[in-house]
Chain A
Amino acid sequence: MNFDYNEEQQLLADSVRRYFAKDYDFEARQRIVASREGWSEAVWRQLAEMGLTGLPIPAEYGGFGGGAVDMMGVLEAAGEALLVEPYVPTMVAARLVERAGSDAQRKAILAPVAEGKLRLAFAHAERGARYNLSRIEARARKSGEGWLVAGEKVGVLGAPAAQKLVVAARTDRGPSLFLVETAAAKLRPHVTLDEMRAADVVIEDARAELLGAEGGAMPAIEEAADFGTALVCAEAVGAMKFACETTLEYLKTRKQFGVPIGTFQALQHRMVDMFISYEQARSMACLAASKVDGAKDARERARAVSAAKVKISDAARHISQESVQLHGGMGMTEELKVSHTFRRLTVIAQQWGDAEHHLARFAALG
């Protein structure tokens, strides 16, 4: 039993944190958010240089072969910094290529991803599907040697920055995965509540390459979703850490009635409850990442990830709401990072399924 990062993991997390402190402070981040693209190619290159884009990619494709636990410290730092670059979307889509793709596909996709030259997005969710991963209406049919995909995907995170999409579509044999050039689809880009870029994606008979076995995509989709969930859990822990620390600092410095407001017991106890939520969330993020890497089967993995997401979603709401409340009116403003952290945590609470979705999934797994 050991809850620490190993030396390598710690060194990487520290260097990422140093980079964010130097080049990705709140002002820098807000400039990127306000830019036309809403993300920064220069930052992406830096992430690649630090080895982050290759972190979970197997060594034979130019990566470091890391697992979710290896990524935790990086994601925590990203969560603290409110990173808007499409790192998690690219890593999740790469996971699908790694797990489902042929060796030729892995070579063609994963190597450039690791180098930082290729960004991906996972076009999966559809209107009305809510959080049900298997409700896929998009269709794919054979055309000569290849495939044609048609359908509409909603809220595809990172799609505007991605050159290729991994698309979930149904054939007569069931849910399948396809590679589609982003340029072959119509994008309706939008800014998300947490200031990231996503798009609704309309695909009208776009040429596509089958990824993995036709009709057999669900296990890979479930696994990638659990992987993605574990990553946002770690990101949430970083965001919560910031929210707790900045709120605590505010309680110690903000004076009313001639004393710091942190001397009031009503506020102290609320701060303590935030801190407890954060510690519990951290424990569950460790559990999720560990089981994504080392569960003995899909059930054990799914159970741990869902339990973690219940706790993370609840804690994200609790901590984000309290951090704004304890900051008073200032917590409502654009000026303070805490309101942006609030938005990020609000989105994370629903990303990859909200607490209720994961409660039901956890309970169904017995």
Chain B
Amino acid sequence: MDLNYSQEELAFRDEVRGWLAANLPQDLRDKVAHYEELSKDDLLRWHRILAKKGWVAPSWPVEWGGTGWNVVQRYIFEEECGYAGTPPLVPFGLMMCGPVLLRFGTEAQKKRFLPRIYHGDDFWCQGYSEPGSGSDLASLKTRAERRGDHYVVNGQKIWTTLAHYADWIFCLVRTDSNIAKKQEGISFLLIDMKSPGITVRPLMLMDGGHEVNEVFFDDVKVPVENLVYEEGKGWTVAKYLLGYERMNTGRIGASKRELARLKEFAARQSGDDGRPLIEDPRFRDKLTRVEVELMALEITNLRFLDRMRRTGQPPGADVSMLKIKGTEIQQAITELFMQAAGPLAVPVRPANGAEGFDRFMAGLAPRYCNYRKTTIYAGSNEIQRNIIAKMTLGL
């Protein structure tokens, strides 16, 4: 048993860390540090810097631009990005549509879409959830009717993250409704967001941010060549994506960074007795428990990686555990930040053009609100528990 990275892994980590320190633009670093909303341009700028370096799609096959890294290297890279505080890589193209095309796409589809995803030429979003289909995704109702050489799509998607930036959307649509089992008759379609009949409406969240949208489809024509895999086999594609290896589910690098910042922040705030808040045992114990949870998650994650590397097996339901614990930790940190700021966390934006406003402090409460999403999105934590109960425990 050896819990330490090997010399080669440490050297790799230092290489990544050094490169990130030298190549992450200061203005992007600051925006992330202040929890500011990132524009499409911000996101794409970072995407293209990584693409130029050849590190934007590590998990892809080398011939399509992948790095050939093993799972531990991929984990190190993603956690170092989180630790450095880079803008996120938007996953919809790189981690979702790309892998789907690599697995199920035709040669023509791969050639048409993959290079554009890689270089950030197309911005993708994901059309899964619908107003009536959240955790019960297979109950979706958006219809696609085949008419000659195209489909006509009608329906509505919801919670569509960054649809307002997107050039393309990949969608699960119902191509056959006369089916006994609801998982059948679903197809996976690639749809150009500029198609006539698509309307994007923002759904503003309680923190005041614009991340998610409703997307309406009104007689949208989609060429048949944009169908991925077979008609009616969309569920197979969606399931493949759920099991797709993602190394940063636990978001450990980002949480480590946030926790270190929280400690610094709490050392600068005073408790009721005028001493630094971090010395208040009640606050300190809460913070320390989160730190211990994060250590336990990191080691658990490394254990899973070690097993994956040796067995070559995909991570399976382990990922659900990382998602549950990782999101609980992320939420706990945002909550402690807000608690540390105390009454100063309440003002969120200046009114009537007032000046002298503390931008960082003002971001804490909205971030706390925003992070409630983490235990809901990407398969709510309750769904993750269902998955573990079924897949791991056999219940």
B-contacting residues of A (Cβ < 8 Å)? 1-6, 9, 69, 72, 248, 251-252, 262-263, 265, 268-269, 271-273, 275-276, 279-284, 286-287, 289-290, 307, 310-311, 356, 359-360, 362-363
Contacts and interface: CB of A to CB of B under 8 A. Distances in A.
A268 B295 contact: no
24 contacts: A1-B6, A1-B302, A1-B306, A2-B1, A2-B2, A3-B1, A252-B395, A269-B385, A269-B389, A271-B389, A272-B389, A275-B392, A275-B393, A281-B296, A282-B303, A283-B296, A286-B3, A289-B1, A290-B1, A310-B288, A356-B285, A359-B289, A359-B292, A362-B292
A282 B302 CA distance: 12
Contact of A4 (B1, B321, B393, B394): B1
Contact of B386 (A2, A69, A265): A265
Contact of A252 (B296, B302, B394): B394
A90 B284 CA distance: 36
Interface string B33-69: 0000000000000000000000000000000000000
A350 B234 CA distance: 53
A1 B285 contact: no
B299 interface: yes
A330 B297 CA distance: 33
Interface of A is mostly: helix
A332 B148 CA distance: 69
Contacts of B297: 280
Interface of B is mostly: helix
Interface in B271-297: 281, 284-285, 287-289, 291-293, 295-297
B288 A279 contact: no
A268 B389 contact: yes
B141 interface: no
Given A276-B325, A276-B388, 7 more contacts: A5-B1, A6-B1, A272-B388, A273-B385, A280-B325, A283-B296, A284-B299
The 8 tightest CB contacts between A and B, nearest first, are: A283-B299, A268-B389, A280-B296, A283-B300, A272-B385, A262-B395, A269-B385, A272-B388
Contacts of A279: 300, 321
B382 interface: yes
Contact of B303 (A3, A72, A272, A290): A3
A286 to B, nearest CB: 6
Contact of A310 (B289, B324, B389): B289
B2 A290 contact: yes
Contacts of B300: 279-280, 283
Interface string B303-332: 101110010000000000100110000000
A117 B215 CA distance: 77
Interface string B374-393: 00000000100110110011
Nearest to B294: A307
B204 to A, nearest CB: 32
Contacts of A290: 1-3
A251 B395 contact: yes
A1 B72 contact: yes
Contacts, number: 113
A6 B1 CA distance: 7
Given A268-B386, A275-B393, A356-B285, A310 B2 contact: no
A276 B389 contact: no
Nearest to B382: A269
Contacts of B305: 1
A342 B5 CA distance: 36
Interface string B353-385: 000000000000000000000000000001001
B386 A311 contact: no
B296 A284 contact: yes
The listed residue with most A CB atoms (<10 A of its CB), out of B291, B293, B300, is: B300
A363 B6 contact: no
A289 B3 CA distance: 10
A72 B292 CA distance: 21
Contacts of B395: 248, 251-252, 262-263, 268, 271
Nearest to B303: A3
Contact of A307 (B5, B6, B292, B321): B292
B15 interface: no
Interface string B1-45: 111111001000000000000000000000000000000000000
Nearest to B281: A360
B292 A1 contact: no
A248 B395 CA distance: 8
A141 to B, nearest CB: 39
B393 A248 contact: yes
A117 B321 CA distance: 46
Nearest to A2: B2
A287 B393 contact: no
Nearest to B279: A363
A359 B288 CA distance: 7
Contacts of A2: 1-2, 306
A1 B296 contact: no
Contacts of A360: 281, 285
Contact of A287 (B72, B299, B324, B392): B299
A363 B284 contact: yes
B393 A271 contact: yes
A39 B232 CA distance: 66
A191 to B, nearest CB: 33
Nearest to A274: B393
Contacts of B310: 4
Contacts of A4: 1, 306, 310
A363 B285 contact: yes
A286 B296 CA distance: 10
Contacts of B389: 265, 268-269, 271-272
B325 A1 contact: no
